[in-house]
Amino acid sequence: MMKRSANLAAHLTIFLFFFCHHPSQARPLYSDPFEMLRAGRWAQILRHFESRTPRNKSDFYALARAMQQSKGHSGLQAVAPYLNVVRQDCMRGSSESDLNQCLDRIPEHSVRDLLERLALYRAQEASQKELSQSAREKILSRVDLRKGDVLDQKILQKRLDILIDMKQVSKAAAIADKFEHVSGDYTEFLKGRAYRQSGNTNKARDYLFKAAEMDPPGWLMKAIYYELKKNDPALPNAYQDQQHYRRKLVLFQQYIPSSFYRDSATFSPENLIATSNAITVEADGMVLLELGKEKEVLELSSRAYTFLSSKPGKLRTWAYHLRKANRVHVAKQLFKRFEHAKSQDASLWHIYLDILKKSGNKDEYFKELVAYLNVNHADYETHDELIEFLIGDDPDHLHWAEKRYWDYARSMMPSQAGSGRFVYWLYRYNEKNDPAANEELLKNFYTRMPGSYYKQAFWDLNESAKKTSYRDHWSYVRDQSTYLGWVSRYGGNEQALAFLAKKNLSAYWNEDAVRILRDLKRDQDSIPEDIVELFQLGEWQLGMEFFRDKYKGKVSDYQFMRRLAQVGLRGNTLFISVYYTRNLLRDSKVSEDPFTLPPELLRILYPRPYHTLVQKYGETFKVDESMVYGLMRQESMFRELAISRSGARGLMQIMPKTGEWLASRSNMRNYDLLDPETSIRLGSMFFADLLRMYDQDFRWASIAYNGGPGNLKKWKARYYNGDFNHFLEHIPKAESRNYCRITHQNYMHYWITDRIYGQGLN
C-alpha cells in the first residue's frame, strides 16, 4: 500500500502561523504523476514519462490510466503498464500473446493489494474493444476476492457478466458458489441469473429474492422481477404452495397489477399489517394505498412506528402517492404522527409543503414553510416560495402580504445567510409600513443574516458605512453581538476592514465553528488508508463507495460528514473537502461568514487552487481573483474534470461553443477545456468581457455568465425597472437567480477574507 496521504496539518495550521508564514517557492503546476492523476491530466502524464521510466506501482498506474484515457493510445497499450503494477516487467509487448504469458506468471486468485486489484479491473476495462472476453475474464481471475469489499464486488460482477455473455453458465455458477461471501444487490442478481441459466431454478429464485430484499434502485428491481419471470413463468400467479416467496411479491408492486393483490388472501390488509417487516413495510403500504385502504396504511405506520421513524425516507413513496391523489386529510394524519421525521428528510418535508399548499390553507402552509426554512436554511429555491408569498409574483407590482405574516417570519427565521433575502424584503416592507423599525434593522442586520448576499445592499443603504467613525465605535465592541453590530455598520468599508485586520478576532468566532475545526483536526488517521488512496488516485466515485460501505448507518450524520471532509483534505480532493465542510456548518446552523469563522476554516471552505494561474490571468484580463474564485467555487467546486449535464466543462464550466469562440480570439489550437490553465484563462477572459459590458458590476456579469448575455438582455428589457433586487426575484430561470446570489456571496467572502487575513490564506 502506498503511504502517499497528505498530512492534514499542512491544511490546518494554527491561527498564529498566518502572521509569520512565508510562501514557499512556486512549484510547477503538477509536480509528480500522482498530482497529475488526481487532476486527470492525461497528456501531461504521458509527456512526463517520455523522458522517465516508471519507478513504482503508482507510476505504472498513472501511465496506464493516461494511456486508457488518451485518444492517441489503444486500450491494449494500457494493459501492459496496468499488469506491471501487479508484477513489474511482467508484460513488455502489447499483444494478447504477451498478455497470456504475463498472466501465466500471476497465479489465479492471488492478487490482494488494493492498487493491484484496481489495476487488473481497469486493464480488462481498457481492453474490452480489443481483447477477447476470455482474455478479459482471465485478467480478472487473478484477483483474490476474499475481502469481499466494493472493488471485489465490481470484479466479481464483471466476471459473471462476461461468463454469462460467453454462455459459460456452469463456470459462472461455480464462481458464484465459490464467492458466496461477496455480496451486493447487483452481485446477487447476477448470481441468480447464472444459476437460472445453468438450470438451478431453486437457487436462482433464492438469490433473486435476496437481491430484491437489498433495497436496490428502481432499474435493478425491474430487472430482478423480469429475471424471476424467466425463472418462474407463472408469475405473479406462482408460489401457491410457497407462501414465504408469495408474500415477498409486494416488493414488485410497481410491476404487478393491483387486482392480483386484491384477489389474494395473502395480501389482505389484515395479513399485510400482521406480517409486515422492515424489508416489506414500504411496499406493503403502497399495496394498501393502491387498494384504497388508507385507514389501514395509518394502522401500518403505527405498527412500524419505530422503524419508520429511523428511516423517514421509507415514508416518501407513501407521501408522494397521497400528494398525487390529493389525499390531504390522510397525508396530514400521517405527517402528524411522524412530525419529528420531517427534519431528517428534506424531500419528505417538501412533499408535505406541496400538500399543504394544494389544500388552500394559507396560514398552515406559511407556518410550515417558515419551519422548513428554519432547518433547511440553505434551500434557495424554497426561499423563492417564501418571498413569492410575501411580495407576490407580479413582475410589475409588489403585492405585500398581511402584517401578521411578516411578524411571524421575523420572529421565526434563523440567523443564517439564507435569511438575508427575507431580511432585505422586510426592510422594503417597513419602508412602506413601519419606517421606524428600519433604523434598528440597519444597525443590526448582520446578526440576522451573517454572510448573506444581501449584506452589500444594506451596506449601500447604511450611511455610517462610508464614514471613518469605525475606530471610535470599536470601543463599544464587547462580545459577538456588539461585534456584528459593528460589522452591520462598517463591514463594507475597505478602510474598516484594514483596521479589523490588525485585531485579534478570535473572541468573536462562532463557538460551533471552532468546535467543527477542532473535530476536523481530530482522529485524522482513523480513516483507512485504502479510502484516502482512492481519492488521491482520482478514483473518487469508488472511494465514495468504499467510504459509504464502511461508515453509512454506523456513525452519526455529523461524523459521516466530518470523516468525508477529512478524506477530501488528506486526498487533496477539494470538491469533497469544501462540500462536506460546508455541510458540517449547515447541519450545525453555522453561517459561512468571513467575519465569524476561524481563518483556518475559511481556508478550507474558500481555497485558492492554481493561485499563480488565477493571478496571472486576472492581471492579464483585469479581473479580481476573488471574482474568479467566486465563480469557480460554484461552477465546479474546484473539480478539474467536471462536466455538467448541459456539457459545460472544467473548473470554470465553459460550454464548448463558447470555448471555441474564446479560443479563436486567443489563437489557441488543440485546446482542452478540462485543462485547468485553459479553463482559468478562457473563463477569466469571458468574465472580464461581461464586466466591461455591465459597468464592472459582478451581479449583472454573473447572470450573463450563467444564463447567457442574450437571455440577460431579454430579461432586463422585460423585468428591470431600476430596482436590481426586484429584477432578481423575477428572472424566469431559477438557476440564474440563485447563481447570482451564490457567486456574489462567494466573491465577497473571498474579498473580505483577503482583506482581514491577507496573503496567509493564499
pLDDT digits (tens, 9 = 90+) for 379-405: 999 999 999 999 999 888 899 999 999
Lowest average pLDDT, out of 4-18, 77-91, 263-277, 657-671, goes to 4-18
Which of 3-17, 47-61, 584-598, 727-741 is predicted least confidently? 3-17
The 3-class secondary structure across 416-439, one letter per residue, is CHHHHHHHHHHHHHHHHHCHHHHH
Cβ atoms within 10 Å of 118's Cβ, excluding its own: 23
Beta-bridge mates of residue 111 = 143
Question: How confident is the model at residue 759, as a pLDDT?
Answer: 60
pLDDT grade for 21, boundaries at 50, 70 and 90: very low
CB 83 within 8 A of CB 90: yes
Q: Read off the pLDDT of each residue in 506-518 and give the average, rounded to a whole number.
A: 97
Per DSSP, 111 falls in state: B
Q: Give CA–CA dist 527/680, Å, rounded.
A: 33
Do 748 and 708 share a structural domain? yes
Same domain, 586 and 718: no
296-300 contacts at long range (C-beta below 8 A, 24 or more positions apart): 296/269, 296/272, 297/330, 297/334, 298/330, 298/333, 298/334, 298/337, 299/273, 300/272, 300/273, 300/276
Does the N-terminal peptide bond of residue 594 adopt cis geometry, omega within 30 degrees of 0?
A: no
What is the residue-wise DSSP string for 505-523?
-GGGS-HHHHHHHHHHHTT
| pLDDT surpasses 60 at 11 | no
pLDDT band at 5 (very low <50, low <70, confident <90, very high): very low
For residue 31, the model assigns a pLDDT of: 55
Q: Which of 74-83, 246-255, 318-327, 601-610 has the lowest mean pLDDT?
A: 74-83
Q: Does a structural domain hold residue 246?
A: no
Boundary of a domain, candidates 565, 595, 625: 595
The residue-averaged pLDDT of 60-82 equals 90
Distance CA 381, CA 736 (A): 11
Sequence-ordered list of residues with C-beta below 8 angstroms from that of 500, at least 6 positions apart, any chain: 755, 756
What is the Cα–Cα distance from 659 to 683, expressed in whole angstroms?
Answer: 9
Do 753 and 679 fall into the same domain? Answer: yes
Tell me the mean pLDDT in the region 438-461. 95
Helix intervals (H) in 13-70? 33-39, 42-48, 57-69
Amino acid identity, position 662: L
Nearest to 687 by CA among 629, 731, 639, 727: 629
CA–CA dist 678, 672 (Å, integer): 7
Do 519 and 583 sit in the same domain of this protein? Answer: yes
Cα gap 166→142, rounded to integer Å = 19
State yes or no: pLDDT of 449 exceeds 60.
yes
User: Residues 625, 754: one domain?
Assistant: yes
162 in a domain, yes or no?
no
Per the listing, cell 492523476 goes with 37
Beta strands in 29-146 (DSSP E): none
Cα of first residue to Cα of last residue in the chain, in angstroms, is 32
Mean pLDDT score of the chain, rounded to an integer? Answer: 92
Is 679 or 74 the better-scoring residue by pLDDT? Answer: 679
Q: How many domains does the chain have?
A: 3
Q: Determine the pLDDT at residue 87.
A: 92
Reported as type and span, the H/E element at residue 6 is none
Task: Give, in degrees to the nearest 5, the angle at Cα 710 between 709 and 711.
Answer: 95
DSSP category for residue 492: T
> Over 60: is that where the pLDDT of 286 sits?
yes
Residues 305-355: pLDDT tens digits?
999 999 999 999 999 999 999 999 999 999 999 999 999 999 999 999 999
Same domain, yes or no: 692 and 629: yes
User: Looking at the structure, do residues 567 and 442 belong to the same domain, yes or no?
Assistant: no
pLDDT, position 464: 66
Whether 580 maps to a domain, the answer reads: yes
- Grade residue 8 by pLDDT with cuts at 50, 70 and 90: very low
Task: Name 28's Cβ contacts closer than 8 Å, sequence gap at least 6.
Answer: none
Residue type at 407?
A: D
Examine the domain organization and report whether 642 and 735 are in the same domain: yes
Site of grid cell 440576522: 448
**Domain-located, residue 276:** no
Q: What is the pLDDT of residue 29?
A: 43
Over the Cα atoms of the chain, what is R_g? 30
Q: How far apart are CA 222 and CA 255, in angstroms?
A: 8
Q: Pick the more confident residue, 2 or 437.
A: 437
Q: How far is CA 524 from CA 6, 264, 565, 569, 600, in A?
A: 11, 56, 10, 10, 16
Q: What is the mean pLDDT of residues 600-611?
A: 97
CA atoms within 13 A on the CB side of 11: 30
- Distance (Å) of CA 275 to CA 140, 216, 513: 43, 22, 47
Percent of the residues in the chain that have a pLDDT greater than 70, as a whole number: 95
Of 72 and 512, which is predicted with more confidence? 512
Residue 111 sits at φ, ψ, to 5 deg, of -90, 120
Considering the domain boundaries, does residue 14 fall inside one? Answer: no
Least confident window among 35-49, 561-575, 624-638: 35-49
Nearest C-alpha neighbor of 639 from the set 128, 40, 94 = 40
Kindly state whether residue 275 falls inside one of the protein's structural domains.
no
pLDDT over 80 at 463, yes or no: no
How many whole angstroms separate alpha carbon 210 and alpha carbon 180?
12
Residue range 75-81: average pLDDT? 89
Q: Is the pLDDT of residue 1 over 60?
A: no
pLDDT at 94: 76
Decide if pLDDT at 559 tops 80: yes
Better-scored residue on pLDDT, 234 or 465? 234
What mean pLDDT do residues 359-385 have? 96
Residues above pLDDT 90, as percent of the chain? 86
549 shares its domain with 424? no
pLDDT over 60 (residue 608): yes
Q: Indicate whether 502 and 568 sit together in one domain.
A: no
pLDDT at 15: 34
Q: Which amino acid is at 709?
A: P
Indicate the residue among 484, 507, 530 that finishes a domain: 507
Burial of 181 (0-12, 13-18, 19+ CB in 10 A): exposed
149-166 pLDDT, tens digit each: 999 999 999 999 999 999
Instruction: Evaluate whether 540 touches 576 at the Cβ level (below 8 Å).
Output: yes
Specify whether the CB–CB gap between 99 and 83 falls below 8 A: yes
User: In 3D, which of 458, 373, 382 has the Cα closest to residue 416?
Assistant: 373
Instruction: Report pLDDT for 467.
Output: 74
The candidate with the shortest Cα–Cα distance to 697, out of 743, 658, 653, is: 743
pLDDT for the residue 762: 56
What pLDDT score was predicted for residue 2? 43
CATH number, domain of 730, equals: 1.10.530.10
Asked, for residue 221, whether it belongs to a domain, the answer is: no
Residue 579 lies in a domain: yes
Assess contact for 13 and 5: CB atoms under 8 A. Answer: no
What does 623-654 look like in DSSP terms, one character per residue? Answer: --HHHHHHHHHHHTTT-TT-B-TT--BTTTTB
pLDDT confidence of residue 23: 34
Same structural domain, 422 and 478? yes
Per-residue confidence band for 761, with pLDDT thresholds at 50, 70 and 90: low
pLDDT given at position 523: 81
Closest-CA residue to 179 (of 109, 113, 231): 109
Q: Concatenated DSSP letters for 167-228? A: T-HHHHHHHHHHTTT---HHHHHHHHHHHHHTT-HHHHHHHHHHHHTT---HHHHHHHHHHH
Residues 710 and 629 in one domain: yes
Give the mean model confidence (pLDDT) for residues 260-277.
Answer: 95
* Res 411 pLDDT > 70: yes
5: helix, strand or coil: coil
Chosen domain end from 544, 566, 595: 595
CA-based nearest residue to 319, from 347, 291, 300: 347
The residue behind cell 493564499 is 762
Average pLDDT over residues 97-123: 94
d(CA 586, CA 519) in angstroms, rounded, equals 15
**Domain span including residue 460:** 361-507
DSSP for residue 675: S
Task: Please name every residue paired with 171 in a beta bridge, in sequence order, or none if there are none.
Answer: none
